[in-house]
Structure 1
């Protein structure tokens, strides 16, 4: 996630979530599918963990943005 976006409404958040999900599935989902097809159980586990980590990172990024905005409003 390189670009900063402004999330002002629930609809904005929904659009952001859809775009992030498409990006994550496009990158990490492909690796998971490839591991399932060609890899070992360990390869599948690693790819699954990478997918979960990408989702976690995206959620934490938006959470951190919410905290930054809240602390900016307080000061």
Structure 2
């Protein structure tokens, strides 16, 4: 999620969401599965929280992108 992308339509957003979900599941989902298999309850809780935080971060990134320029547009109106 380091590269800036342009989302011009619903299809672009759908593709972005799929790619982000794949990345989150590959990174954080593996850690959660490993903690569930080999770890303690605390390990599972930490891994689950990391997964939730990764999802939150992705959604906030989208929100921030949607809000860019909104204040400027309202000032011009």
The answer to whether TM tops 0.5 is yes
TM-score (norm. length: structure 1): 0.93
Q: Structure 1, unaligned stretches of length 5 or more? A: none
- 1:1-75 paired onto structure 2 within 5 Å: 1-74=1-74, 75=76
Gaps of 5+ in 2: none
Q: Which has the higher contact order (CA 8 A, sep 6+)?
A: 1
How big is the alpha-carbon RMSD for the aligned residues of Structure 1 and Structure 2? 1.1
Distance 1:37 1:72 in 2: 50
> Which structure's CA Rg is the greater one?
2
Separation in structure 1 between the aligned mates of residue 69 and residue 62 of structure 2, nearest angstrom? 11
* TM-score, length-scaled by structure 2: 0.91
